[in-house]
Every structure is written in C-alpha cells, then in structure tokens.
Amino acid sequence: MLSRFIGDRKFYRTAMAVTVPIMIQNFITNFVSLLDNLMVGRIGTAQMSGVAIVNQVLFVINLCIFGAVSGAGIFTAQYAGGGDQEGVRATFRFKLLTVLGITAVGIGALLCRGDQLIRLWLQGEGSPEEAERFLQYGKAYLAVMLWGLPPFALSNVYCSTLRENGETVAPMTAGIVAVGVNLFLNYVLIFGHFGAPVLGVRGAAWATVISRWVELLLAAGWTHLHPGKMPFARGLYRTLRVPAALAGQILRRGMPLLLNETLWAGGMAVLNQCWSVRSLDVVSAVNIESTIWNAMSVAFMATGSAVGIIIGQKLGQNEDKDRVMDEFCRLTAFSLALNIVTAVLMLLVAPWFPRLYATTETVRALAARFIRVQAAILPFYAFTNCCYFAMRSGGKTVITFLFDSVFVWCVNVPLAYGLSRFTELPVVPMYALVQGTEAIKCLIGFFFIKKRAWMQNIIM
C-alpha cells in the first residue's frame, strides 16, 4: 500500500528534475517580489498599499494570460510526449495570437477605467486624505506597469512551451537573471542610488518592466539558438496560421481553462475587496500576508505544475491507467510532505515578518494573524492543486472550471460578501471561515480523481 504513495529513486529523480527548477525559478521570482514589496513598504504605508491595489488589478490580466497558455499547453505537453513537433508549433502560435489579443484588451481597459478600479479598494474605514494618497500612488505605479504587460505575455508563451517540452532549466535561468536585474534596479531606482533619481513607486514599476523584457529576450533567444534541443523552433514563424480543427479543439477544451483562470483571479480580487471593507488597514495587512504567501507557496505551485507535465506526458504516451493513478498518488504525497514543512515555516515567520515594514502596529498584528490562517490552510491547497492539474492534463477543463472558479464564485465570494456586508464579524475570523472552505474542495477533488474519467489522450 505504501508503494502507491512512496516512489523509488527513479520516481523522485524524475519528479525533482521537473519540480526543482520550477520551484527555484518561482522562489527567486517571488523572493525578489518580496524584496521589491519590502523596499516599497519601507517608503510608507500609502505607497505600499497603492502598489498592492494595482497589483491586484494586474493579477487578473496576468492570470488570464496564464489561462490562455495553459489551455493550449495541455495539447503542447501531449504533442511533446508523442514527438509531434508540428503540433507543438501550432499550439505555440495559438498561444502567441491569444495572449497578444488579451494584452491589448487589458491595456485598453486599464487606460480607460484604471482609476475606478483602484477606488474599489478604498471604501473601508479611514480618512479621505489617506485614501486619496493610496489612489495617487497607485495611478503612478500603473502608468509604468502597463509597459510590462507585452513582454510578460510573450515570456509566458516561450517559458510554458519550453517546460511542456521537458526543458525547465532554460526558463529557470531566464527567470533568475530577470529577477536579479529587477532587484538591482529596485535598489537603484526606488531610492536613487548610484546617481539615479529617487523614483519611489515609479522606480519599482520601471525595474519590473525592464526585468520582464530581459526575461523575454533570454527565453526566446535560448529557444531559437538551440533548435537541436527544441526542434519546434525551426520554421516557427514561417506562418502564424493555426489549423482550424486544432484551434477548435483548443478553444473547446482550453476556453474553460482561460475562463477559469480569469474568473478565479477576479474572484480573488473581489475577496480582497471584501476584506478591505473593514478598514484601509486591512488593505495593507493583506498585502503583507500576500507577499510572504507568494514566496512560501512555491512548493505547492511547482509540484502542481509537475503533476500537469508528468501526467500529461504519460497520457500522451498512452500509459496504463493504473500506472497513471499510482504516479498521481506519489506526486500528491510528495507535494503534501513539502507543503506541511512549508506551513510550519510560515507559522514560525508570522510574528516577525510584518515588522520588516514601516507601518503601524495594528497593520502588523493583522498581517501576522492572516499569515497564520494561510499556513493552516496550505496543505489543503496543495492537495486541491494536484487534483486540478491532474484533471487539466487529461483535457477535463470543464470539470476544472467547475472545481476552481465556479467554486470561488458560488461559495467563497457569496460567503465573504455576506459576512462583510451583513455582519459585524471581525475581519480575521471572516477571513478564516472563507479560506477554510478549501476543505470542501478537497472532498470534491478526491471524488473526481477517483472516478478516473479525466485520464484521456486528447491528441489521438
């Protein structure tokens, strides 16, 4: 029985070969984002909160882009597993055209309605003067960050395709170099070192934008300079045409995934807006909690990606279903073990991490309590994330849509909205009740995985 959950050396070598580079890249990226957030947080609470609100809005667009590449990526992983390079090229082109369209729409929407979106987070208890400062810093940050959306979208196309072809080191290297550039430019541009002007939140934005262009150039450059390792790069731009039949398949299976990521991100933004109704202090506290959460959640995100890649390739190779299920069980056990350790680390850092910010004691105390809640829920997130990526790898995107974003909008959002608008429940218990619904998702995920209907080769 234990052999179903504990693998041999070959299993862990394979799992670590996929997981560790993704984990390292995500950790470094999120760690630099943490340092970026800390640097802005050292300027003041208003600057930190203005940046945090804009990042909530951008998060929706970023997840929409991620959903677009992920939908096509289901096919890319299976084409790669079957050695069909023309299929990989076609899915790459589909990703490219889709993310460029999403980026154009996103930039247009933010140029027209950016102010109104930021104001949605400024309705809690606090002075009008403080809210106006949050708004002005947010607008300054957003004006620069819009220049970073195109390279972010294109980097996602290249890096996701490389990973789906089993190449995780190149995108990891590109990410490491990019975050190094980001960190250095943050130090220079936020505070005005080495003779540079003191740009504050604008400096943080420019550092991010420049680093995204660096990541794109490195990822794209590596891909086209190594056609032997990545044969799909040969003739990649000879045409941008995508076969109509394949486009229809991707849209049919990938559109639920695109909608899922977009609606899920929108749901997270709505939840954060619900917390902010209590006070402006909550906006700052949630930002601090989100920063450490992003840095500490790399284990469950990386192992989830590993589930999608490894299981997707096995399905593309027509692996026996019992073996696929055993592989899922071992990967999930591996993920749970890593994330229990991570949860303990989060509990240990909860008291002192908020003290790194130049903010009030009220904000620090709230942030510490939010961090403890997230640490308690982390193993549940790890399990549901593995279920999500496994179902997605077999093309069951309608089920993942119901499992993920529909759950958020039908359970989390109504519960948070009702508690925030119609009760006097303090924000931390309210936050814990809403986040605790992840346990229900675990039961739903277990049910779908056990049925095995998701185990499909979708490229035959």
Query: Contact 153/100 with Cβ under 8 angstroms?
Result: yes
* Distance from the Cα of residue 392 to its chain's centroid: 16
Per-residue pLDDT, averaged over 115-119, amounts to 81
User: What's the N-to-C CA distance of the chain in angstroms?
Assistant: 33
* pLDDT tens by residue, 192-209: 888 888 888 899 899 999
Least confident range of 16-30, 164-178, 250-264: 16-30
Angle between the N-to-C axes of helices 9-43 and 201-225, in degrees from 0 to 180, rounded to the nearest 10: 150
State the amino acid at position 232 in one-letter form. F
What is the spatial distance between Cα 231 and Cα 226, in angstroms, rounded to a whole number?
8
Rounded Cα–Cα distance for residues 322 and 454 (Å): 13
Higher pLDDT: 38 or 427? It is 427
Cβ contacts of 252 within 8 Å, gap of 6 or more: none
Other beta carbons within 10 angstroms of residue 248's beta carbon come to 11
For residue 238, give both structure tokens.
Answer: 């000879």
Higher pLDDT, 382 or 38: 382
Measured distance CA(48)–CA(291) in Å, rounded = 11
- Give the pLDDT confidence score for residue 7 in this predicted structure: 61
**Any idea what the Cα angle at residue 315 is, between residues 443 and 7, rounded to 5°?**
65
Tokens in use for 341? 């350790």
Please give the single-letter amino acid code of residue 246.
L
Torsion on CA atoms 90, 91, 95, 98, rounded to nearest 10:
70
Top mean pLDDT of 29-38, 268-277, 446-455 is at 268-277
State the number of CA atoms in the 13 A half-sphere of 397 facing the CB.
23
Q: What is the pLDDT of residue 282?
A: 86
Listed residue (303, 331, 23) closest to 169, CA to CA = 23
CA distance 93 to 232: 11
Name the residue among 297, 218, 349, 262 with its Cα closest to residue 31: 297
Q: What is the pLDDT of residue 200?
A: 87
Tell me which of 155-164, 279-288, 424-433 is least confident: 279-288
**Dihedral sign, Cα of residue 381, residue 387, residue 392, residue 397:** negative
At a CB cut-off of 8 Å and minimum separation 6, what does 25 contact? 171, 172, 175, 176
What is the structure's pLDDT at 33?
Answer: 66
Residues 269, 277: Cα–Cα separation, whole Å: 13
pLDDT of residue 233: 86
Determine the pLDDT at residue 281: 83
The alpha-helical segments, DSSP class H, found in 6-44 are 9-43
Distance CA 320, CA 315 (A): 8
| Highest mean pLDDT (candidates 137-141, 323-327, 328-332) | 137-141
Nearest to 333 by CA among 374, 382, 381, 375: 382
Locate all alpha helices (DSSP H) within 317-407, ordered by sequence. Answer: 321-349, 361-393, 397-401, 407
| pLDDT range class, residue 267, cuts 50, 70, 90 | confident
At residue 366, the pLDDT reads: 92
Ranges 240-244, 256-260, 316-320: which has the least confidence? 316-320
Which of these, 138, 122, 118, 45, lies nearest to 364 by C-alpha position? 45
pLDDT tens digits for range 340-390? 999 999 999 999 889 888 788 888 999 999 999 999 999 999 999 888 888
* φ, ψ dihedrals at 44, nearest 5°: 165, 165
Beta-carbon contacts of residue 258 (< 8 Å; ≥ 6 apart) = 64, 67, 68, 70, 71, 98
**Domain spans of the chain?**
2-451
Please say whether the dihedral angle defined by the alpha carbons of residues 183, 187, 190 and 194, taken in this order, is positive or negative.
Answer: negative
Q: What is the pLDDT of residue 25?
A: 64
Cβ(372)–Cβ(333) under 8 Å? Answer: no
d(CA 145, CA 204): 9
CB distance 249 to 395 below 8 Å: no
Query: In this structure, what token pair is assigned to residue 212?
Result: 């995204």
**Rounded to whole angstroms, how far apart are CA atoms 412 and 428?**
15
Judged by phi (left if over 0) then psi (alpha if -120 to 50, else beta), residue 31 lies in alpha
DSSP codes of every residue in 74-98: HHHHHHHHHT-HHHHHHHHHHHHHH
Greatest C-alpha distance within the chain = 64
